[in-house]
Amino acid sequence: MYILSRNKGSETLLLLTLCLSNSFLVAVLVSLVVYKTTQRIKNINTILRSYAMGNLAPKARWVGSTGDDDIDELAELLNHTAEVIRQIMDELSREKSKLQTIFDKADDGFIVVDKESQINLINPAALHLIKAEASQIIGKTIIEATLNHDLSKLVERVIKTNTAGSLQIELPKGEPTFLNVYAAPIEPTGALVVMHDITEAKRIDAIRRDFVSNVSHELRTPLASIRVMAETIALRGKTHPHVSEEFAQKIISEVDRLTAISNDLLDLAQIEAGRRNIRSEEFVLKETVETAIAGLVPKAEQKAIELSIRIPDHIVVNADKGAVHQIITNLVDNAVKYTRPSGSITITATESNGWVSISVADTGIGIPQEDIPRIFERFYRVDKARSRESGGTGLGLSIVKHLVEMQGGKVNVESQLGKGSVFTFTIPAKSS
Ligand SMILES: Nc1ncnc2c1ncn2[C@@H]1O[C@H](COP(=O)(O)OP(=O)(O)O)[C@@H](O)[C@H]1O
Ligand SMILES: [Mg+2]
């Protein structure tokens, strides 16, 4: 009984101990699970905090999880969401940098203003156009920045009426700058102003207008004298046959000059329209120069001008033969025209660093220093009457300049009044 009761007592003790140790184990296990779950939630919390601060780099990673409970699903979702946001943000930042590049590198000026016409944003092209620094301009109004009332009024109207508008303006700072300005509303914050520089287009337009009036002037003079001479022949030709003969000769030379003008104009027009293509080939320079001046030898002989070529036989150029022929003809024709009888003309050539430099030197009348920068302009002549008398068109040197530059070369002139001139141009040598 005792034994039994003792036995019973130990059983109870054992049972009690077992019970106690089981519940302890459960408690430990439960608290372990709770601890882990808390840790995982804390982990999510930390990651969310870093996302909230804009850092999407950390990823949720679960140590010891089974990978299939709700928290894991949440982590998976969190990672996926972060990935999607990261992709959207990358895309946005790529788009932003594209827009920034357009804004920075555009030739046109862009200005963004607020409702009060105050400048919020301005690109380098606009700063260049209004000749200002960004630091001085941000926050200023359009009128303060550009000093242009028309532009300021346009921007105010665009903001007020919420409709786009455009106009042409001239900026007063420094060299005159002409702009085409377009302004469009940006709802609800202000307006965008786009400025396109048309100064160069206006300059070219003015040159074209000048050119047309020059051409008509050039044509009017010979046409008027042809008319007068033809009338004289009609009135007095029968009774004064020698007058008919003399004026008929004059008419012929005027018509020749008109033909020369029209040929030169055609050449210039083709060159400037880009229709004259340069066809480079290798040829012996001396031979082409000799052919080019052949037609001018009688003219030089008439004036007892000594015409000599001092070009080494071995110089071979890689250039457009027709163009070189035309350049030499024009320069030597001028040299013969503007050199007094018994003078001399020498054509020389040297080769260095892949270029051949060709000079036409004369002992002629020379060119005044102040005219030198202008003689390559169309129709520019130092002495109009003299040029006209000798059949000049005033276009020869502009053609020369174009033809040389089209081949990558340069043309240059040195001259001393009363002593003579040296015209030098370069063309590519045969590649070694
Ligand atoms: N070798 C030269 N010596 C003096 N003046 C020159 C010479 N070459 C050109 N010029 C000046 O440059 C002007 C322009 O030359 P160019 O265009 O060939 O026209 P053109 O010979 O028809 O007058 C000439 O009118 C002349 O005043
Ligand atoms: Mg000429």
- pLDDT value at residue 189: 85
CA of 396 to the centre of ligand 1 (A): 8
* pLDDT range class, residue 352, cuts 50, 70, 90: very high
What pTM was computed for the model? 0.64
Q: Does pLDDT of 64 surpass 60? A: no
- pLDDT value at residue 80: 87
pLDDT tens-digit map of 238-268: 898 898 999 999 999 999 999 999 999 999 9
Please give the number of the atom of ligand 1 that sits closest to the Cα of 420: 3
pLDDT tens-digit map of 88-141: 999 999 999 999 999 999 999 999 999 999 999 999 999 999 988 988 899 999
- pLDDT value at residue 7: 59
From 268, 381, 413, give the residue whose CB has the most ligand 1 atoms within 8 Å, as the site to mutate: 381
CA of 381 to the centre of ligand 1 (A): 6
- pLDDT value at residue 68: 64
Q: Which-ligand-closest: CA of 359?
A: 1
Out of 57-66, 166-175, 327-336, 404-413, least confident range: 57-66
CA of 391 to the centre of ligand 2 (A): 9
CA of 375 to the centre of ligand 1 (A): 7
Mean pLDDT of 403-417: 97
Please give the number of the atom of ligand 1 that sits closest to the Cα of 397: 17
- pLDDT value at residue 144: 93
Ligand 1 cavity residues, CB under 6 Å? 330, 334-335, 338, 362, 364-367, 375, 380-383, 387, 392-397, 421
Q: Which-ligand-closest: CA of 343?
A: 1
Q: What is the maximum span of the chain, computed from C-alpha positions, in angstroms?
A: 182
CA of 367 to the centre of ligand 2 (A): 13
Mean pLDDT of 217-232: 92
* pLDDT range class, residue 79, cuts 50, 70, 90: confident
Please give the number of the atom of ligand 1 that sits closest to the Cα of 333: 21
Mean pLDDT of the chain: 90
